[in-house]
Amino acid sequence: MANPDRPQPPLADAPPASPDPRVPDPRAGRAGDRYARELERHLDWLDSFTSTALGVLSAASGIYTYLGVCTLLDDPGLWTTFAALAYAIAVSVGIFVFWSYLLRLLPAVRSAASRVGLMLTMALGSVAIIAMSSWLNAAALAGGAAVETHMATTVQNYQTSLERAHANAVAGQALSRDVARVRQSFQDLSEQEAGGTLSGFSGRGAVFRVLTQKSAELQALEEQLVSTLGPVEQTFAQGNTILSRMRGTSVMPGPLEDRTVSFSEDAVELAGLITQLRQLNPAPLVSRAAQDLADAVILPELDGATAATRAGQSSTIEAVLTLVAQRAQTLTTASAEVMALPPPDDALYTPMSAADAVIAYAGNFVPAWAGAISIDLLPAVLVFIIMVVQAAIRSGRGEEHSDDRMTVGELRAALAASEMLRQHEAVFSPAPGAVAPGGPPVPGGDSGRGV
């Protein structure tokens, strides 16, 4: 029978006693330390080529910066090349030093204020790098394409202006039909007057001469309108020819500078043709002629044989003048509608450098801008990676852990110092059996060594 006072062994399947939460688990500490050491080994291996990779990125950015600076400098002399090279080297060194500082310092700091300060510094430095390098890199990557885009946009603007000027001129020429209709009405009236239908007296008297006078004025105006048809179409055809040549210049192979010069010459010529089309628009001429039609009337002397005949002529002439004023108002309204059409824009070609064109058409070259900025700001990703890994290392070892790692050099130095200490103790320690001053004899030399 089992003794109740005797302690019984615990059952095999009994759960272990719950550990005190205030006492740290040594197994968790060992696991966290192994985890931290593993991450440190990875960091040590990565750190062996991080500086080299950063140098390559900085050098690549400097090369593209040099190409971008060369697009801004017109003089291809020795000093210009030296200045561009010096600027590119300064940019490469600045990028390398800046990111080297942050790769070392930002992951190492622990306080929130220090991290915020260094992050603000990183943001300010990134803006400075974009300002002094990235836009020049984008100019080197897509500068030629940006200039060609500027040419293509200019061609489109010139084409719009040319077509609008031509449409306005054609609309002005369409007024010739209104002028012909009014002229025909006066001719019909003159024929009626010759037969005596209007004034009641047949013949070619004063009323007939007034009607033929206005008919002749409208005939001359109609001939002027018709005479502008040929120059308008000829000018429009010349403009289309120049536009075709400009399109070819914008995409043809060859040095960009030579193509820009040829494009500028064609643009000046085309601008002159657009101005010529604006001047060939006959709508203002019709407006002035309609005003003169109503105001400038030469009244002939009444030639009736009797007073009744002259009175009939006078009243008929007043009716004719009223009709002239109405027809003049109709032509004035029609010409005003043509002149109210939107005028062609003042197309003007302004040559751009590659750097300016990249900025002006940045939305068309988002990949080039992304690549130019990424090559400068890619080390920021490495900074954040190291920050995360350093935080994981501290979390694995604990915040109160002091780093007890030793490198091979430090281990050799420690062994050398220990050997020197043993030699020193061997020289200055008393021999075995010697009597220490004021004390019993020393049993052995080793007993006087410190631990």
pLDDT of 190 above 80? no
pLDDT value at position 50? 86
pLDDT value at position 11? 43
For range 179-208, the mean pLDDT: 70
Lowest mean pLDDT among 3-17, 42-56, 183-197: 3-17
**Number of domains present in the structure of the chain:** 2
Tell me: do 248 and 342 sit in the same domain: yes
pLDDT value at position 124? 94
Q: Tell me the C-alpha distance between 206 and 302, whole Å.
A: 6
- Sign of CA pseudo-dihedral 190, 195, 201, 202: positive
- Whole-model pTM: value is 0.64
In a domain? residue 420 = no
Tell me: do 126 and 200 sit in the same domain: no
Tell me: do 247 and 348 sit in the same domain: yes
Tell me: do 174 and 219 sit in the same domain: yes
Tell me: do 172 and 309 sit in the same domain: yes
For range 419-426, the mean pLDDT: 79
In a domain? residue 34 = yes
Displacement of CA 249 from its chain's centroid (Å): 23
Tell me: do 167 and 276 sit in the same domain: yes
pLDDT of 177 above 80? yes
State the pLDDT confidence band at 196, using cuts at 50, 70 and 90: low
pLDDT value at position 341? 85
pLDDT value at position 447? 44
State the pLDDT confidence band at 43, using cuts at 50, 70 and 90: confident
The rounded radius of gyration (Å) of the Cα atoms in the chain is: 50
Tell me: do 273 and 125 sit in the same domain: no
Output 158 or 29, whichever has higher pLDDT: 158
pLDDT of 2 above 90? no
pLDDT tens digits for range 79-102: 878 888 899 999 999 999 999 999
Which 3 state secondary structure label does DSSP give 151? Answer: helix
In a domain? residue 185 = yes
- Sign of CA pseudo-dihedral 248, 249, 254, 256: negative
In a domain? residue 146 = no
In a domain? residue 343 = yes
Decide: 150 and 361 in contact? Cβ < 8 Å.
Answer: yes
pLDDT value at position 299? 54
pLDDT of 443 above 60? no
332 Cβ contact partners less than 8 Å away, ≥ 6 residues apart: 287, 290, 291
Look at phi and psi of residue 339 and say left if phi exceeds 0, alpha if psi is from -120 to 50, else beta. alpha
Displacement of CA 269 from its chain's centroid (Å): 29
For range 167-185, the mean pLDDT: 82
pLDDT value at position 212? 76
Lowest mean pLDDT among 287-296, 352-361, 372-381: 287-296
By percentage, how much of the chain surpasses pLDDT 70? Answer: 75
**Domain CATH for 322:** 1.20.1260
Nearest 5°: phi and psi at 240? -65, -35
- Of 296, 330, 353, at which residue does a domain stop? 353
Boundaries of domain holding 60: 28-141+367-397
Which 3 state secondary structure label does DSSP give 435? Answer: strand
Lowest mean pLDDT among 282-286, 331-335, 410-414: 410-414
Q: Which of 178, 181, 202 is nearest to 190 (CA)?
A: 202
For range 297-326, the mean pLDDT: 65
Output 182 or 399, whichever has higher pLDDT: 182
Q: Which of 66, 336, 327 is nearest to 217 (CA)?
A: 327
CB atoms within 10 A of CB 172: 25
State the pLDDT confidence band at 4, using cuts at 50, 70 and 90: very low
Q: Tell me the C-alpha distance between 381 and 374, whole Å.
A: 10
pLDDT value at position 439? 52
In order, the DSSP letters of 277-327 are HHHH--HHHHHHHHHHHHH---PPPP--SSHHHHHHHHHHHHHHHHHHHHH
In a domain? residue 92 = yes
Tell me: do 90 and 235 sit in the same domain: no
- Token match 């628009």: residue? 281
pLDDT tens digits for range 250-308: 888 878 888 888 888 889 999 889 888 888 888 888 888 777 766 665 555 555 556 66
Tell me: do 166 and 237 sit in the same domain: yes
pLDDT of 450 above 90? no
Q: Tell me the C-alpha distance between 347 and 266, whole Å.
A: 12
- Of 353, 377, 406, at which residue does a domain stop? 353
Tell me: do 97 and 167 sit in the same domain: no
Calculate the average pLDDT of the chain. Answer: 77
Tell me: do 344 and 374 sit in the same domain: no
pLDDT of 12 above 50? no
Tell me: do 137 and 170 sit in the same domain: no
